[in-house]
């Protein structure tokens, strides 16, 4: 019940295309859903986050869509750029806790 399942494991997108990464969870106590971006040799960095009272959140080219009934959320990267090539992790946590449960990660490659 503590798992967060992420797909796909790897994704190749052409420059200017839309990258889509999906996550699903079981634990209905989760109420905070961040996405982290990690470049090689670096620690993960917070990209964007959403709470379940909102169905969508957009920050620049990055959008989170959240479906509470389906217990799924996804990251959309519009106009994908080579600089977006990185590993992306979805995560979930329970309010007030600093304990994040991470998905397995998606290695995104944007071809120029």
Can you give the binding site for other proteins, defined by CB under 8 A? Answer: 32-34, 36, 41-46, 49, 89, 91, 93, 95-105
We find the least distance from the C-beta atom of residue 92 to other proteins, in angstroms, to be 8
Bridge partner list, 26: none
We find the least distance from the C-beta atom of residue 108 to other proteins, in angstroms, to be 16
We find the least distance from the C-beta atom of residue 31 to other proteins, in angstroms, to be 8
Q: Phi and psi for 83 in degrees, rounded to 5?
A: -70, -10
Nearer to other proteins among residue 47 and residue 77 (C-beta): 47
Distance linking the first and last C-alpha atoms of the chain:
39
Nearer to other proteins among residue 40 and residue 60 (C-beta): 40
User: In this structure, are residues 88 and 105 in contact, taking their beta carbons and an 8 Å threshold?
Assistant: yes
Nearer to other proteins among residue 80 and residue 93 (C-beta): 93
User: In this structure, are residues 35 and 75 in contact, taking their beta carbons and an 8 Å threshold?
Assistant: yes
Q: What is the 3-state secondary structure (H, E, C) of 1-17?
A: CCCEEEECCEEEEECCC
DSSP 100: P
We find the least distance from the C-beta atom of residue 40 to other proteins, in angstroms, to be 11
Nearer to other proteins among residue 12 and residue 45 (C-beta): 45
């Amino acid at each position: 019940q503590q798992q967060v399942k992420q797909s796909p494991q790897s994704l190749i997108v052409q420059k200017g295309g839309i990258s889509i990464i999906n996550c699903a969870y079981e634990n209905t106590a989760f109420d905070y859903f961040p996405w982290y971006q990690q470049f090689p040799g670096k620690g993960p960095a917070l990209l964007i986050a959403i709470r379940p009272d909102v169905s969508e959140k957009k920050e620049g080219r990055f959008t989170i869509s959240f479906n509470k009934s389906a217990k799924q959320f996804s990251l959309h990267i519009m106009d994908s750029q080579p600089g977006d090539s990185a590993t992306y992790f979805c995560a979930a946590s329970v309010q007030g806790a600093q304990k994040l449960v991470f998905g397995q990660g998606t290695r995104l490659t944007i071809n120029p």
